[in-house]
């Protein structure tokens, strides 16, 4: 159900159940339920512009894609560059899919979907410290730049 927050009368927020794994602290960790992970559609009622915020995005289905296409800005999960990044770096045994995070690269990664968005600001959020996009000199960071995708940073401001 849509809602507003006191003090932000020009913003309307709509939660959306998204496909992902339940967070580690959830009693549903190994048995996900609808609502364990949500995204938010934030609409500026004054400008009629829309932001889609999905930090724990595990899958981009048709519904999510349509919402992303209708948004002026998308801020989606950028946890991992590759699905097996944690294993490759020797810091974990789980894949991104195991953790409920869609990786960025490849034909089935989020970059493939972001490339389908015209006139939309694209920002990756929720980035793991193993992700090479954090190194601004990396090949992966250069790839994002070529595709018009930004990496979020502390203090970043989004204006709709």
How far apart, in whole angstroms, are the C-alpha atoms of residue 21 and residue 34?
10
| Low-confidence winner among 8-22, 28-42, 83-97, 141-155 (lowest mean pLDDT) | 28-42
| Among 4, 143, 160, residue whose Cα is nearest residue 73 | 160
Q: Is the pLDDT of residue 27 over 80?
A: no
Confidence at residue 66, expressed as pLDDT on a 0 to 100 scale = 97
Q: Which residues contact 10 (CB under 8 A, 6 or more apart)?
A: 44, 45, 46
Q: Which residue has the higher pLDDT, 144 or 19?
A: 144
Residue 125 CA to residue 89 CA, distance in Å, equals 20
Question: How does the average pLDDT of the chain come out, rounded?
Answer: 93
pLDDT at 99 exceeding the cut of 90: no
What share of the chain has pLDDT > 70, as a percent? Answer: 95
What is the C-alpha separation between 23 and 99, in angstroms, rounded? Answer: 8
The answer, yes or no, to whether residue 33 has pLDDT greater than 70, is: no
Domain parsing of the chain, residue ranges: 11-151
Q: What is the pLDDT of residues 69-90, one digit of tens each?
A: 999 999 999 999 999 999 999 9
Whether the CB-CB separation of 61 and 67 falls below 8 Å is answered with no
Q: Which DSSP category does 138 fall into?
A: S
Torsion angles phi and psi, residue 141, rounded to 5: -65, -40
Tokens encoding 94: 């789980």
**pLDDT > 90 in the chain, percent:** 81
pTM: 0.93
Res. 20: pLDDT tops 90:
no
First to last CA, the chain: 22
Which residues does residue 76 pair with via DSSP β-bridges, in sequence order? 54, 124
HSE, side-chain direction, 13 A CA sphere, residue 46: 6
| Per-range mean pLDDT, top range of 25-29, 133-137, 156-160 | 133-137
Q: Domain 11-151 classified CATH 3.90.245.10?
A: no
């Amino acid at each position: 159900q849509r809602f507003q927050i006191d003090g932000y009368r020009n913003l309307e927020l709509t939660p959306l159940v998204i496909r992902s794994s339940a967070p580690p602290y959830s009693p549903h960790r190994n048995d996900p339920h609808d609502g364990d992970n949500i995204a938010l559609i934030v609409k500026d009622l004054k400008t009629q512009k829309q932001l889609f915020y999905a930090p724990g995005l595990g899958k981009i289905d048709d519904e999510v894609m349509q919402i992303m296409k209708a948004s002026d800005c998308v801020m989606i999960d950028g946890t991992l560059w590759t699905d097996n990044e944690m294993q490759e770096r020797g810091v974990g045994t789980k894949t991104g899919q195991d953790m409920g995070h869609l990786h960025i690269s490849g034909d089935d990664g989020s970059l493939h979907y972001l490339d389908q968005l015209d006139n939309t600001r694209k920002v990756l959020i929720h980035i793991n410290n193993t992700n090479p996009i954090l190194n601004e000199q990396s090949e992966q960071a250069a790839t994002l730049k070529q595709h018009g995708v930004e990496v979020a940073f502390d203090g970043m401001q989004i204006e709709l």
